[in-house]
C-alpha cells in the first residue's frame, strides 16, 4: 500500500496559531487567524524585515516547536488510517535545524508515522542538504494521497506529481484553483470520515 503524505505545519501542528501568540508577545501586535491570508508571514503579520527575521529565529527554537498544539482531529484520523494499513509519511518543509525537536514533538503527542522527511519545499536558506531532500527527489516518490495546507505544494503534488491532494482549508489557501486531483476539506474530521467512509483505497473514484 502506498504511503499517505502528511504535511506537519498547520496540518498536524497548530503552527500559525503559535506564531500569532509569538507575534503578540514579541511585537505586541494582535493579529487574528482569519487575517493570515498570505502564506508569506511577513505580509500576513505586516512585519518589517527586522521583525520578520526575529520571528523566524524565535519560531524555530526547540521550546517554541515543543509548545505547539495539535490540530483537532489529526491524530484520530492518522491512527485510523494507520490501523487500516496505510503507512504515514510525514513530509515537512521545516528548517533542518528543527529535525530533533520536530521528532520529539511527534513523540510527545503520540503521532503515528512510519517515516519523517524534510523537503526543501520553499527554497529556504539554512537547509542542510545532508538532511533535507529536494522537490525533485520528492517527485520520485509515490503517495496514495497527500494532505497539505500550502497552495504551492498542493499544486506541485496534484499537477506535477499527479498525486491526489486533500487541502485542509486555511485562510491562506482560499485563492487556489482546485483541479480533479485537488479537493478542499474544512477539517480533519471531514477528511478522515470521507477517506474511511469510502474505503478509498479500493473503491473511491476521488482518490483512485
Write down the least CB distance from residue 201 to Mg ion, Å: 24
Is the dihedral angle over the CA atoms 172, 11, 154, 185 positive or is it negative? negative
Q: Nearest to Mg ion by Cβ — which residue?
A: 9
Binding mask 142-161 for Mg ion (x = CB under 5 A): -------x------------
Comparison of 95 and 201: residue with beta carbon closer to Mg ion: 95
Count of positions on this chain that bind Mg ion (CB under 5 A): 4
Write down the least CB distance from residue 169 to Mg ion, Å: 13
Question: Does residue number 10 form part of the binding site for Mg ion (CB under 5 A)?
Answer: yes
Comparison of 7 and 201: residue with beta carbon closer to Mg ion: 7
Question: Does residue number 9 form part of the binding site for Mg ion (CB under 5 A)?
Answer: yes
Write down the least CB distance from residue 9 to Mg ion, Å: 4
* Greatest Cα-to-Cα distance within the chain, rounded to the nearest angstrom: 52
Residues forming contacts to Mg ion in the complex (CB under 5 A) are: 7, 9-10, 149
Amino acid at each position: 500500500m502506498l504511503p499517505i503524505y502528511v504535511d506537519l505545519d498547520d496540518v498536524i501542528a497548530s503552527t500559525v496559531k503559535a506564531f500569532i501568540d509569538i507575534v503578540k508577545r514579541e511585537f505586541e501586535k494582535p493579529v487574528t487567524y482569519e487575517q493570515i491570508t498570505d502564506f508569506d508571514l511577513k505580509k500576513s503579520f505586516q512585519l518589517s524585515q527586522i521583525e520578520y527575521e526575529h520571528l523566524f529565529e524565535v519560531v524555530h527554537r526547540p521550546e517554541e516547536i515543543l509548545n505547539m498544539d495539535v490540530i483537532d482531529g489529526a491524530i484520530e484520523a492518522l491512527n485510523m488510517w494507520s490501523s487500516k494499513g496505510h503507512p504515514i509519511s510525514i513530509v515537512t518543509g521545516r528548517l533542518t535545524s528543527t529535525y530533533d525537536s520536530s521528532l520529539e514533538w511527534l513523540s510527545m503527542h503520540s503521532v503515528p508515522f512510519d517515516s519523517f522527511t524534510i523537503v526543501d519545499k520553499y527554497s529556504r536558506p539554512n537547509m542542510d542538504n545532508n538532511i533535507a531532500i529536494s522537490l525533485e527527489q520528492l517527485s520520485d516518490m509515490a503517495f496514495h494521497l497527500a494532505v497539505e495546507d500550502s497552495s504551492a505544494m498542493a499544486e506541485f503534488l496534484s499537477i506535477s506529481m499527479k498525486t491526489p491532494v486533500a487541502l485542509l482549508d486555511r485562510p491562506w489557501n482560499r485563492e487556489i484553483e482546485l483541479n480533479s486531483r485537488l479537493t478542499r476539506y474544512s477539517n480533519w474530521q471531514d477528511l478522515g470520515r470521507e477517506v474511511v467512509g469510502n474505503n478509498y483505497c479500493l473503491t473511491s473514484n476521488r482518490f483512485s
